[in-house]
Amino acid sequence: MEYTITKLAQLANVSARTLRYYDEIGLLKPARVNSSGYRIYGQQEVDLLQQILFYRELDVSLETIMDIVSQPTFDQNAALKQHYTKLKQKRTRLDKLIATIEKTIGNKEGVINMKDKEKFAGFKEKMINENEEKYGDEIRGKYGNDTIDAANAKLRGMSEEDFSAMNNLEKEVLSLLKQAYATNDPASPLAQEAAEKHKQWLMYSWPSYSKEAHAGLAELYVADERFTSYYDKIVSGGTEFLRDAILIYLGKK
């Protein structure tokens, strides 16, 4: 079965403009262009477009999708299994958010009595799932399943006050990081305050704290580009600066 760009756009519920853009950037090229100049797509392109749309549903950037699907070792069947797992996780997260909203409506209308902890259950689950999707393999490999499972359980059981305090601490760390970076000195009082706040932030979710684990996490921030991009978006070079500040704070540098 072959499709023109218009027919494929209708089939996949995307715009023809999107398919033209995918062609322009080399993400999805047509199988051929016919004598009339029309792009023609075959089964291979249909299957690839399905993969692309799965990745987009999971908020993967086009640049990353191109890197993935262009690999010689790219396995569509393995990718489908991965999509299935991640979409199930996303559905679970959404179901919890929906349940939280339903309970909140019932509480507002006086139908049920909702505990304060329940009001934030969906948001906590969202945070846990996002962390698992982004960093799960790395942090489980580094700290072990038992440690990460215990950390997730601690987060799920966190009170409204602690959950709010943890989120506020994260904002403080990022604000202090930006200010401290201007000093160009990871040993400066501002930088050391950022490291202390970072420790306090970790202790809200970690089942137990150790200097070695804290130092290892700081090194992971620099080694893994996903962590690096998070802190470097605050200030370019901020991840290494935070790592150095933490190591100095811990007496390891």
Instruction: Burial-class residue 168 by CB neighbours within 10 Å (0-12, 13-18, 19+).
Output: exposed
pLDDT band for position 107 (cuts 50, 70, 90):
low
- pTM assigned to the model: 0.51
- Are 33 and 49 found together in one domain? yes
- Encoded tokens for 49: 């477009």
Is 227:202 a contact under the CB 8 Å cutoff? Answer: no
Is 138:220 a contact under the CB 8 Å cutoff? Answer: yes
- Encoded tokens for 23: 């062609």
- Of 9-13, 43-47, 142-146, least confident by mean pLDDT is 142-146
The CATH number of residue 59's host domain is 1.10.1660.10
Q: Which residues pair with 116 in a beta bridge?
A: none
State which of 107, 138, 157 marks the end of a domain: 157
Rounded Cα distance, 133 and 93, in Å: 12
φ, ψ (nearest 5 deg) of residue 196: -65, -45
Domain count, the chain: 3
Q: What is the mean pLDDT of residues 45-69?
A: 89
Query: Domain residues for 39?
Result: 3-69
pLDDT band for position 116 (cuts 50, 70, 90):
low
Those residues with Cβ within 8 angstroms of residue 61's Cβ, 6 or more apart along the chain or in another chain: none
The CATH number of residue 249's host domain is 1.10.490.50
Q: What is the pLDDT of residue 109?
A: 76
Tens of pLDDT, residues 193-249: 999 999 999 998 888 899 999 999 999 899 888 788 888 988 999 999 999 999 999
What mean pLDDT, rounded, does the chain reach? 86
